[in-house]
């Protein structure tokens, strides 16, 4: 049996409001919100046998084409683990970025900067075929933006 499709990517955040605003500025829409807790959630997270119970607030966002989703998760319990150094550099093992194709890269960067995002480096034309940029948003999340050059 093989993987059928990728469903979503989860990003753990300290606060949902700023993270939701960032991804909405990118053009994503909130698809749903939920609070999860209970025995099944504890077992999924390996929190059985007396470990601290798990409770979290979730927001699911979807791209305009409905093909990709980002789940933002704010843990109520247990406390989140703070990574160091902070913010994490883009070359940290295990996590780098989520890439989105956009219609107008520079306009998208401006929208993200208006809600607290910041360019990690520069907008780069890669071999004349694509514009690329990394933008760091709330919670240190890095999104990569790509615009094909026509």
CATH class of the domain whose range is 1-81: alpha beta
In the predicted structure, residue 74 carries a pLDDT above the cut 90: yes
In the predicted structure, residue 142 carries a pLDDT above the cut 70: yes
> With bands split at pLDDT 50, 70 and 90, how would you rate the model's confidence at 51?
low
In the predicted structure, residue 1 carries a pLDDT above the cut 80: no
pLDDT tens track for 77-131: 988 888 887 777 777 777 668 899 999 999 999 999 999 999 999 999 998 899 9
Q: With 0-12 CB in 10 A as exposed, 13-18 as middle and 19+ as buried, what is 141?
A: buried
Q: Do the domains at 1-81 and 86-150 have one common CATH topology? A: yes
Q: Are 71 and 19 in contact (CB under 8 A)?
A: no
Query: 72-109 in b/e burial notation, b at 16+ Cβ within 10 A?
Result: bbbbeeeeeeeeeeeebeeeeeeeeeeebebeebeebb
86-150 CATH, one of 1.10.510.10, 1.20.1250.20, 1.50.10.20, 3.10.180.10 = 3.10.180.10
Q: Measured at the alpha carbon of residue 142, what is the angle toward residues 140 and 148, in degrees to the nearest 5?
A: 165
> With bands split at pLDDT 50, 70 and 90, how would you rate the model's confidence at 29?
very high
Q: Any idea where the domains of the chain sit in the sequence?
A: 1-81, 86-150
For residue 18, what are its two tokens?
A: 């700023």
What is the pLDDT, as a whole number, of residue 91? 74
In the predicted structure, residue 49 carries a pLDDT above the cut 70: no
Nearest residue to 10 via CA among 58, 82, 70: 70
For residue 45, what are its two tokens?
A: 């997270």
**Residue percentage of the chain with pLDDT more than 70:** 95
pLDDT tens track for 33-47: 999 998 888 888 887
């Amino acid at each position: 049996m093989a993987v059928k499709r990728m469903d979503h990517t989860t990003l753990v955040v300290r606060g949902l409001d700023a993270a939701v605003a960032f991804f909405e500025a990118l053009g994503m829409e909130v698809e749903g919100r939920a609070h999860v807790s209970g025995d099944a959630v504890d077992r999924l997270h390996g929190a059985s046998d007396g470990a601290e119970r798990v409770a979290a607030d979730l927001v699911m966002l979807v791209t305009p084409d409905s093909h990709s989703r980002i789940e933002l998760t704010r843990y109520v319990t247990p406390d989140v683990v703070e990574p160091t150094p902070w913010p994490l550099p883009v070359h940290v093992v295990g996590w780098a970025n989520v890439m989105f194709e956009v219609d107008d890269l520079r306009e998208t960067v401006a929208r993200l900067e208006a809600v607290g995002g910041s360019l990690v480096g520069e907008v780069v034309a890669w071999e004349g075929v694509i514009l690329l940029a990394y933008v760091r948003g709330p919670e240190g999340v890095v999104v990569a933006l790509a615009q094909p050059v026509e």
